[in-house]
Amino acid sequence: MAEKKLTVPQIAAMKSKGEKIVMVTAYDYTFARLFDAAGVDVLLVGDSLGMVVQGRKNTLGVTMDHMIYHSHCVAKGAARAHVVCDLPFLSYQASKEDAIRVSGAALKKGRAEAVKMEGGEEIAETIRAVVDLGIPVMGHVGLMPQRVQQMGGYKIQGRGKDAAKKVLRDAKAVAQAGAYAMVLEGIPLELAKQVTKEVGVPTIGIGSGRHCDGQVLVCYDLLGMFEDIAPKFVKKFADLKTVIQSAVGGYVAQVRSGEFPDLQHSFSEQKS
């Protein structure tokens, strides 16, 4: 029997039930299927694909067409997991109309079930406009990678009284605007605990400690495949870099030596 899809109300209800939400990024069909089968609740088609898939320095060059392409691939591999498509830099910030148009495209063409937007108080009305049309929105506050130029790098946010108050105001504004969940990125764990207690919707942390309602990591980071940057919060749950290099190294050696392909992996006139 086909797996039942996790819905937005079910994800929102996990907070009150005290069930941790497990989110991971995915960018293609094969990884999406593996993560779905492993029990991941939410597959985030993150604009981090600009860095880990496209090899850019940051996420700013990612377009909506890139997001739709990858979201469509991921959606095909998600039997149970809920699929969220990130909205890339400047696709939604300039006007509510832009936000509605690209959010609709994420669902219609990208086959996602929700969109994610970075921003706090300043995008609350935009979130409201999209949610009012029936498109679920996941917020993203704290460290917002699309503001890397303004921050002067990927810096922890919300340290100190005023900065903490700003993150809390942003989180409350996003929740009040109708977001069904939000990512808390790169904030102190004490602040993440307070936000998680004070907002009614689930918080999903990355680099924000253990008190969030769920966690998200970039898949290539948790699998030990991406080493261009190595943030303190990343835990490697595997060393796939070594596994892949050793497997492909074995292939290289066997092709060069003529060991591969042997008769077992070849066809002959006689069917066997």
Task: Tell me which residues are annotated as active site.
Answer: 185
Strands (DSSP E) contained in 36-178 are 42-45, 82-86, 114-116, 137-142
* Binding test (CB under 6 A) with ligand KIV, winner from 216, 222, 223, 225: 216
- How would you class 152 by CB atoms within 10 Å of its CB: exposed for 0-12, middle for 13-18, buried for 19 or more? exposed
Count, residues in the chain: 272
* Binding test (CB under 6 A) with ligand KIV, winner from 6, 14, 48, 110: 48
* Binding test (CB under 6 A) with ligand KIV, winner from 6, 24, 36, 47: 47
Number of residues that bind ligand KIV (CB under 6 A): 11
**According to the binding rule CB under 6 A, does residue 41 interact with ligand KIV?**
no
Give the Cα separation of 203 and 196 in Å (integer).
6
**According to the binding rule CB under 6 A, does residue 183 interact with ligand KIV?**
yes
194 phi and psi angles, rounded to 5 deg: -65, -45
- How would you class 158 by CB atoms within 10 Å of its CB: exposed for 0-12, middle for 13-18, buried for 19 or more? buried
CB nearer to ligand KIV: pick between 102 and 218: 218
* Binding test (CB under 6 A) with ligand KIV, winner from 206, 222, 223, 225: 206
CB nearer to ligand KIV: pick between 141 and 177: 141
| Segment contacting ligand KIV by CB under 6 A, of 43-51, 87-95, 223-231, 241-249 | 43-51
End-to-end CA distance of the chain: 34
Q: Which two tokens stand for residue 140?
A: 């993203």
CB nearer to ligand KIV: pick between 134 and 153: 153
Task: Give the three-state DSSP class for 24.
Answer: strand
**According to the binding rule CB under 6 A, does residue 25 interact with ligand KIV?**
yes
Q: Which residues bind ligand KIV (CB under 6 A)?
A: 25, 44, 46-48, 86, 183, 185, 206, 216, 218
